Structure 1
């Protein structure tokens, strides 16, 4: 049964962090070790700073932040690794939350100087709710930062994780000497020479060995012995089962920019991270080892290649195997579709694949059939759960700034909203279009992409809305619902799927409306 062999060699994980913690740099270095790229984007070549490999949208290169989740795959030690690099910026959190439905484990990157930041707390909470196994990577050790034990305490308290260090720093910042690897019992010396791809590793099974004093100096050696003794007495021993069950989180230290401590992380990850896990659907739990194919769309990206105006739906394969040119059931539409050129990814490079297995992410060319959360199967009618749309927090009217390009604007808005970049509401009263986003930066991204990908210009007008709630009446025909629609007419809109939405102008008005119309439910996510 080659399927099981293929499933066991898959590792699909996401990298999450606060902006600027070095997530994209870490992704690059992992690819470097996997031999997937020959030089990192951070390498300055001919005095031109190349963009990071995983940030392929033009606006990302300009702003220096990741806006969309990118998918990268490579082989390392005969293990097929799929990385989903997510945006760290809170304005793009919705994309990150949806991506977390498609991963089997995550690596959380923390900046040694800043420690645990707000965005990290939110994302880790989502992982904890779903029992996703977490590895913590504390980055930027070549800079001055917080004490290692203080950081470990902070991770335990703020993120509510139970940690166990599998590597430990020797010094930090100016006196950073290297890392002691508790997992492999060796020392990695830091030379600080960025031209060296991989640093010197020296096997040291016994820390009392006098050779240690010669390597890092007596003072540093003594301090390391004390710290490792403390680590071994305070923190629990690493257990693979506890980690995979989401109960114990191993911690690694390093400097992604200097390619330091990354190989240790990758070697350990390949050994301990879970292969594809079962996923809950609306009817049953689906196991990856099942014969029949199932998968779900967790992301849609328009214009991966601006020359071709193509839309790609990213599908995470949950069970069975996905084969090219075989018809699969699109459950929501109830019709069969076949795909002649499913893609596997390496950032913006794509290649057509014949067969993909559970854990893999395939990109399917889409002419508008898919939306986020859609399920594809070999015929069984089931839907995967837990890919919500969140209630937006920022609202603006969108106006056409170039009447000659109204068709392009229409198409652009339509496609970008399918991506889940933002949500579109049409007011019942006058048909005006309102865009709602989770973060204010999204408006800039939409404006930029409309102009550069669709040749359409838009302008915005402020709109005073506190929150959008999806409306679910207990009985659409009753008097109360009719009264609600009459009284609140100017605050009502339809979303892209035609569902009724109440745009409350303040927290008080929302509260009063909920009290006045008890038979109506108001939802803050659209998945109900």
Structure 2
């Protein structure tokens, strides 16, 4: 064991891995870039989506993301701040890409839940929070867009407690109602932080800290109201409690305006000071994989097209234990085959640089990783280790894919296989439609089909057409010998996923009920929690 291996717990303690989650249009990618700006990882904010003449945010690098102004794939940003290495993952906010978000959440140690000041906890935000709760992840709440008209701050905190079951613990509190943002009260030292407005929020907004007496003299009623509201929450159990935060029972709350870079630095400081460092992970046998055990990691994302000039494929893996050194040969726990890590990189959005060493909490990018798939476990020396597989979500939309140019059949097949590897869509086989000439694509949401169509044409040069299928009800076929009972229906069939699971799909509940009356012994199971 070399000297660096003995420093693994120390190195892990210096790392923070967190994700930003939110409902679409809450400002998630803007906040991600504002955090990087305050950490001086970038010198100028990219842009606001939809603003002519401005660059797209660093984390939204795909052509389709920049055109539509939404995040459609997760992005990794690695940078340092105050001696701490930050691994930040920006996630898609749209419900259609919730499967990608689920994978990201499995790879981090805490999350920042972003709320729109005018909308509060929206349906998709609650679904994402439920995923975080299932992983036991601590949640920090950032109320964004306080520079615009919105709801009352106390009402938003009440909603957090009532709908998410989290005790709000304000760390900062807005001075002035939504739309009249004068600064924030630092609830820990009773000072005011006042921000200077910078056009477009292109650089980190200058700050000035005022003592209580000076803040009261300048802000008057707005200051005293902020103090009274923060005191009210503290008196009702909202004082900061680190243990309750780590136990995912309470959520620190901060207010700001990410677009203007107001209120972002306290969030970044809190993540460094109080967010959990990497902890032992449970393997597939429910045994903890301790941080100083030999190297292990799991793949949570596979992506191509990040560098159009090279057409390479990169697999993102979260390091769970031990020390990673570039060039080491690891074993893929799924296939038991060796994998060389000569081309290991760290990512900052689309930008990539060589990574020589990594420790628990880090996200490593393995280039030309065509043998790796989402959910694979990698391990170094010692006994084999496997982490739990990442589940596939139950699809709700189906379409038959066909190449526009039949002369590009091989290119079409390779491109479809790549989309399957990345998890952009699920690819299924159907005896009714042949084994490969017309695969059935399945998606959680219809926008996944838009991504697939776009990438097939612009990235892979294999444009395709989609024939949408009418299926809306999905069940798991428990007994494969009963496949013919479903396939004989006019508006039902069996689709086989690449993991071998057989899904019985029906045009509606009526078709399902008719078949069950005809064949009472037909064994069909629900997909629990919407996950297959």
Q: Same fold (TM over 0.5)?
A: yes
1:9 paired with 2:23, answer no
SS of residue paired to 2:253: strand
CA deviation after TM superposition for structure 1 residue 404, in Å: 2.4
Conserved? CA contact 2:61–2:350, under 8 Å: yes
Aligned to 2:403: 400
For 1:200 and 1:167, how far apart are their aligned partners in 2? 14
For 1:262 and 1:185, how far apart are their aligned partners in 2? 18
User: 5+ residue gaps in structure 1?
Assistant: none
Deviates more, 1:14-23 or 1:221-230: 221-230
For 2:146 and 2:319, how far apart are their aligned partners in 1? 37
Instruction: Please give the residue correspondences for 1:127-142 in structure 2 after superposition, counting only pairs within 5 Å.
Output: 127-142=132-147
CA offsets, 1:257-294, max 9 Å, x none? 11111001111121100001222222233334233111
Aligned to 2:422: 419
CA deviation after TM superposition for structure 1 residue 514, in Å: 6.5
Q: Structure 1 497/28 Cα, relative in aligned 2: closer, same or farther at 3 Å?
A: same
Aligned to 2:386: 383
Q: Structure 1 448/411 Cα, relative in aligned 2: closer, same or farther at 3 Å?
A: same
CA deviation after TM superposition for structure 1 residue 521, in Å: 5.1
For 2:131 and 2:188, how far apart are their aligned partners in 1? 28
Q: Structure 1 301/511 Cα, relative in aligned 2: closer, same or farther at 3 Å?
A: farther
CA deviation after TM superposition for structure 1 residue 10, in Å: 0.5
SS of residue paired to 1:265: helix
> In angstroms, what is the RMSD of aligned CA positions?
2.4
For 1:50 and 1:190, how far apart are their aligned partners in 2? 24
1:307 paired with 2:303, answer no
Q: Which of 250, 253, 256 is 1:254 aligned to? A: 256
Q: Structure 1 513/285 Cα, relative in aligned 2: closer, same or farther at 3 Å?
A: farther
1:337 paired with 2:343, answer no
1:96 paired with 2:101, answer yes
Q: Which of 128, 138, 156 is 1:151 aligned to? A: 156
Conserved? CA contact 1:288–1:358, under 8 Å: no
Conserved? CA contact 1:393–1:439, under 8 Å: yes
CA offsets, 1:90-111, max 9 Å, x none? 1111100111110100000001
CA offsets, 1:79-127, max 9 Å, x none? 0010000000111111001111101000000010111111101000111
Aligned to 1:169: 174
CA offsets, 1:223-265, max 9 Å, x none? 2333233233224321111111111111000111111110011
For 1:386 and 1:350, how far apart are their aligned partners in 2? 27
Instruction: Please give the residue correspondences for 1:291-302 in structure 2 after superposition, counting only pairs within 5 Å.
Output: 291-302=293-304
1:83 paired with 2:88, answer yes
Deviates more, 1:515-524 or 1:246-255: 515-524
CA offsets, 1:153-208, max 9 Å, x none? 1111222212111110010344321100113432111343446623333253xx4x
Q: Structure 1 13/483 Cα, relative in aligned 2: closer, same or farther at 3 Å?
A: same
Q: TM-score, normalised by structure 2?
A: 0.91
SS of residue paired to 1:421: coil
For 1:134 and 1:38, how far apart are their aligned partners in 2? 28
Aligned to 2:459: 453
Aligned to 2:447: 441
Q: Structure 1 290/504 Cα, relative in aligned 2: closer, same or farther at 3 Å?
A: farther
1:522 paired with 2:501, answer no
Instruction: Please give the residue correspondences for 1:24-423 in structure 2 after superposition, counting only pairs within 5 Å.
Output: 24-42=29-47, 48-194=53-199, 197-204=204-211, 207=212, 209=213, 211-216=214-219, 218-378=220-380, 379-385=382-388, 387-423=390-426
Q: TM-score, normalised by structure 1?
A: 0.92
Conserved? CA contact 1:470–1:524, under 8 Å: yes
Deviates more, 1:285-294 or 1:157-166: 285-294
For 1:151 and 1:422, how far apart are their aligned partners in 2? 36
For 2:515 and 2:385, how far apart are their aligned partners in 1? 36
Q: Structure 1 171/118 Cα, relative in aligned 2: closer, same or farther at 3 Å?
A: same
SS of residue paired to 1:213: helix
SS of residue paired to 1:429: helix
